[in-house]
Structure 1
Amino acid sequence: MDYTQDYVRWFRNSSPYINAHRGSTFVVLMDGYALQHQNFTNIVNDLALMNSLGVRLVLAFGARPQIMQRLEDRGLSLSYQSGRPVIGPDAMDCIKDAAGSAAIDIQARLSMGLPNSPMHGASIRVTTGNMITARPVGVIDGKDLGHTGLVRKVDCNAINRRLDDGTIVLLPPLGFSPTGEVFSLTAEEVATRTAIELKADKLIVFGEAKGLFDEDGDIIRVMSPRDASQRLDQMPDTDPTKPALQAAWQSSRFGVGRAHLISYQQDGALLEELFTRNGGGTMITQELYEQVRDATIEDVGGILELIQPLEEQGILVRRSRERLENEVDLFTVVELDGMMVGCAALYPFPDAKTGELACVAVHPQYQGGDRGDLILQHIEKRAYRLGLRSLFVLTTHTAHWFRERGFEPTGVESLPQSRQKLYNWQRNSKVFMKRL
């Protein structure tokens, strides 16, 4: 009777999470050791349950121990250059064999439907394919790394179409090039890039450990990306939890709302983490760490790092550190857990009752959201407080963005006289103005 009551209580308490997760996109990362563990069947059953509850699942997997076994069987070994493997044709054959066999095994497990088993009648569809475009790492210090690759592009449209059909998408640690080549990738990079580009709600990383622990040996339930970064800096490269934490930190830093570290050795770790209030592992989250505010002198380094790539591309006019230090009070910044992800400056012309909106920049990984609009709103409020009646902007690349936000095209003659004298005719920027 007590067991029944506990079950009913747990089920009722989990119902808010069931509703919250339905329709969400989760990217799950498992290394090759997880695939070999005796608890893997239970993990598959839990993934099937997640799928039946309406969670959109992408499963990225590794195959390192399987690859190393095949290399050993063939009398082969890998050499390394700057920490990356040098992969020749023979080694690549072993990698394709191991990854392909692992993918088939996962699909077989997800196809089980025996009576009296948790997956009876589940009828889960699984798909895989060439959804990851890769490029070669190339030559490092004079050494060609061969088939060692990097993720170049994730085919989000193809993945989303399959997720919309209720299919689990399976991503091996392989990528394909437009020239028909196959490259070996790390499962961590595949999972991280996929989670970021899909704008996934969660990245769930199965590792050997239950999560991260504090100095007293207690599990750390919640951690900010900033704390995760500091933890990574303190970890030796030989720490087995470092790749998992690196993936979780990277994804949370670039837009994935929450990343979870759980153990593939613990039965029910996935369900405990997602359907109980306290969870079972470590969650890294960026929530509540973002703010739009006036810049301070401490922000100069972050602003420089943010705008430098745009200056090199000719999109923004170059600004020296000395100039930024003198003008930092004119800047608005978007800070996400200690990282500068957006900025803009307001140069007022009080006599003309107008101001110049300049140096607008948003980090490439954070574009496509509303951060640009948040910056603009902050600048407009600032201009209003200064008694300005209009804003103008000079741009060579983003005219459409400003037009969509109420800026109208105008001529150089509309600028304040002092600004007209500084206009760079060689740059030939377009002028737009917005009435406040």
Structure 2
Amino acid sequence: MSTVFNFTFVPWFRSVAPYIHMHRGKTFVVGICGEAIAAGKLQNLAQDLALIRSLGVKLVLVHGFRPQVTEQLKAKGHAARYSHGIRITDEVALDCAQEAAGQLRYEIEAAFSQGLPNTPMAGSTVRMISGNFITARPVGIVDGVDFQHSGVVRKVDVAGITRTLDFGAMVLISPFGFSPTGEAFNLTMEEVTTSVAIALQADKLIFVTEVPGIRVKPGEPESEDNPIDTELPLAAAEQLLAQSPPGQHPTDTAFYLQHCVKACKGGVERSHILPFAVDGSLLLEVYVHDGIGTMVIDEKLESLREASADDVGGIAQLIEPFENDGTLVKRSRTEIERDASLYTVLEHDGVIFACAALYPYPEARTGEMAALTVSPQSQGQGDGEKVLKRIEQRARAAGLQSIFVLTTRTMHWFLKRGFEVVDPDWLPEARKRKYNWDRRSQVLVKKLG
């Protein structure tokens, strides 16, 4: 039993280590919906956040309280009212919001104060500081609807939050803001989280939500052919938003996605939508290669796109050294030209730094990823992973259930990214006929969940 554990733990820990290094010293702003706390997930979320913080990440936590306020209103016989996806906060609702915020702040601080034995928080001390970091203004009257005490963020106290984080504490923010005259406004967790992330120029914005993320085919039910889209480029996310109705309810595609897009456009390079229903979703998203939810990524500095005939010269120049040393099978320029539309390229300032091709075998519901190449100038910066992700997206969109590669030298890179070694007999018949038995390439397959 111990030996089996050793063989599983060591490779797992080695695969996690690069992400620990990558995130140390970074700032994450995490918004947790009130439904997660109502569902009893606070204790595990607190442990995971404390663990992430112990690995050197600076954390700002914003909590929601939608169900808690609604419950308080119900107890007082007062109906909850919404418009444009925002609560209409009258005097009674404002009182309920203040009560709910006070109770939740107490519960959250208590959860982070427990250094429980036999948990990841054993012996840990998590200092949590909250305060009046948000200045707000009223929503006012929109389309004839008076939102009364509902507000929007006017200003974030960046200096105050930064000093607190540098002091080594976690920052806790409730969705409340105050005017310069001391008037309180009820805010939305989503807007506060986004505003704080943009103001801090955080490295990540993370929403822990009721939804599992954005599906490849939004609006359609969960299925093998409709998994979560784990990586959405900003341009694709904007296009999806333009096609979606306004996000009035948390389960609407646009509800969280609009805030992720706003954050990315405001300078936050990565925004995430995670499910609270999956235990450890924060750890899975931050420290595992494929993640578990949807990540919206800003690629404004580079272009990750499908190739055209104009890219043939750049692709040929990129892969030639690797063909010469035997890493890649030789391809003629004519072949590349013929298959240009099958290639994905990563371009920076007009220069192609990475590429790969996807040759589909639809009858076998699989496809071959070939000629995956990263320029020596940018190796180790994640360009290969970006191209792999895009190839996976193209494969899913084509209805394929897996992708495979043939390699003689880079097997370990693929194994770390979810591929498994299979016998060459696994290959689709059409590909098996072209298999070079003299080259003795390893065949690796990745299932597309």
TM-score range, shorter chain: 0.5 to 0.7
Q: Could you say which residue in structure 1 is the equivalent of 2:285?
A: 273
CA distance in 1, matches of 2:253, 2:31: 13
1:175 corresponds to: 177
> What displacement does 1:141 show?
4.9
Gap runs ≥5 in structure 2: 218-224, 304-347, 349-449
- Residue 229, structure 1, aligned to residue 238, structure 2: yes
Deviation at 1:72, TM superposition (A): 0.5
Structure 1, 96-105 or 239-248: larger mean CA deviation: 239-248
Mapped contact 2:208–2:273 kept (Cα < 8 A): yes
Structure 2 match to 1:285:
297
Q: Give the distance between the partners of 1:53 and 1:143, measured in 2 at CA.
A: 46
CA distance in 2, matches of 1:262, 1:79: 27
Aligned pair in 2 of structure 1 residues 67, 204: CA closer, same or farther (>3 Å)?
A: same
SS at match of 1:7: helix
Displacement of 1:289 in angstroms is: 4.6
Q: Residue type of the partner of 1:207?
A: T
- Post-superposition offset of 1:80: 4.5
Deviation string 1:126-180 (CA, Å, 9 cap, x unpaired) is 0111000001122345554221111000000000011001111011110011101
| Contact 1:40/1:264 (<8 A) preserved | no
**Aligned partner of 2:235: which letter?**
R
CA contact (8 A) 1:88 1:146 kept: yes
Identity among equivalent pairs (%): 44
Whichever residue aligns with residue 274 of structure 1, its letter is V
Aligned CA distance change for structure 1 residues 80 and 34 (closer, same or farther; 3 Å) = closer
Instruction: Please tell me the residue identity of whatever aligns with 1:217.
Output: N
What is the DSSP-based 3-state SS (H/G/I as helix, E as strand, rest coil) of the residue aligned with 2:125?
Answer: coil
Counterparts of 2:176 and 2:259 in 1: how far apart (Å)?
17
Local SS of the residue matching 1:166? coil
Partners in 2 of 1:282 and 1:196 — Cα distance? 19
Distance 1:198 1:206 in 2: 19
SS in 2 for 1:101: helix
SS in 1 for 2:208: strand
Q: Is the 8 A contact 1:51 1:166 kept in 2?
A: no
Whether contact under 8 Å (2:33, 2:210) holds in the other structure is no
Q: Answer yes or no: is the 8 Å Cα contact 2:42–2:111 preserved in 1.
A: no
Picking from 151, 154, 158, the partner of 1:152 is 154
2:197 equivalent in structure 1: 195
C-alpha separation in 1, matches of 2:85 and 2:50: 36
Q: How does 1:91-102 map to 2 (within 5 A)?
A: 91-102=93-104
Who is 2:335 aligned against? none
Contact 2:137-2:185 at 8 Å conserved across structures: yes
- Mark the CA change 1:104 to 1:241 in structure 2 (over 3 Å): closer, same or farther: farther
Question: Are the equivalent residues in 2 in contact too, given 1:39–1:266 (CA < 8 A)?
Answer: no
Specify every segment of 5 or more residues in structure 1 that has no aligned partner in the other structure, as ranges: 292-335, 337-436
Secondary structure, aligned partner of 2:206: strand
How far 1:182 moved relative to its partner? 0.6
What is aligned with 1:387? none
CA separation in 2, counterparts of 1:55 and 1:289? 25
User: Which residue is equivalent to 1:3?
Assistant: 5
Distance verdict in 2 for CA 1:64–1:82, change over 3 Å:
closer
More off after superposition, 226-235 vs 40-49:
226-235
Deviations 1:307-326 (A, max 9, x none): xxxxxxxxxxxxxxxxxxxx
Q: Is the 8 A contact 1:136 1:148 kept in 2?
A: yes
| Separation in 1, partners of 2:33, 2:84 | 22
SS at match of 1:283: strand
Q: Distance between the aligned counterparts of 1:87 and 1:209, measured in 2?
A: 25
Question: Which residue does the alignment assign to 1:295?
Answer: none
| Mapped contact 1:137–1:145 kept (Cα < 8 A) | yes
Please say if 1:76 is aligned against 2:78: yes
**Which structure has the greater CA radius of gyration?**
1
1:260 deviates by 1.4
Shift of the 207–242 alpha-carbon distance from structure 1 to 2, 3 Å rule, reads farther
User: Who is 1:85 aligned against?
Assistant: 87
Q: TM-score, normalised by structure 1?
A: 0.64
CA–CA distance in structure 2, aligned partners of residues 32 and 83 of structure 1: 15
